[in-house]
Amino acid sequence: MWPALAVVATLIFASFMQGEFVTAAQSSVTQGQANALATSLVIYGSYAVKYATANPTVQGSVSDAALGVPYWLVRSPQIGTYVSNGRGYAYYTGARVPSLAGQVAQATQMAMTVGTVTAGVLVVPQLGATPSIPIPGQIANGSVVVTN
């Protein structure tokens, strides 16, 4: 009886520990993904801003080729770019990543043009709502945005 109980206890402990390791691994993957997304948003944001500044009359989504993005940089399908009236936007529309807006803000040295769209307004982490920055209707509420 005691040996069987010891085996059951060992199996329960092993499955608990495996669950702990899996949870830790998932956390680090999520953090790694957030870092990669933040970096991509900053990069695509700079290309969109550069393109919009050079082409102020263009309005709409812009391809990587038009932006001049290097061929080896692969865009995540959740990242979009848009230009309107001389302003460039890169935005993330995927599943919510809680730390993403803060990471993008840190990567841009707390730029006042980085935030989350709420009710069509850019909400900057350190300022709150900034109605003076227009957000096109094509960029969905909840999107994390980098603009100029």
Examine residue 25 and state whether it is found in any structural domain, yes or no: no
Tens digit of each residue's pLDDT (9 = 90 or more) over 21-54:
334 434 443 778 888 899 999 999 999 999 999 9
Residue 20 lies in a domain: no
Number of compact structural domains in the chain: 1
Give pLDDT, residue 108. Answer: 83
For residues 79 and 92, the answer to whether their CB atoms sit within 8 Å is yes
Distance CA 42, CA 135 (A): 17
Q: Which residue has the higher pLDDT, 127 or 72?
A: 72
Question: Does 65 score more than 80 pLDDT?
Answer: yes
pTM greater than 0.85: no
**Torsion sign (Cα): 126, 131, 134, 140:** positive
Q: What is the mean pLDDT of residues 102-117?
A: 84
Report the pLDDT value the prediction gives residue 104, as an integer from 0 to 100: 86
Residue 9 included in any domain: no
pLDDT of residue 89: 96
Q: Could you give the CA distance from residue 125 to residue 105 in angstroms, rounded to a whole number?
A: 8
Q: For the residues 71-86, what does the mean pLDDT come to? A: 93
* CATH at residue 59: 3.30.450.360
On whether the CB atoms of residues 89 and 48 are closer than 8 A, the answer is yes
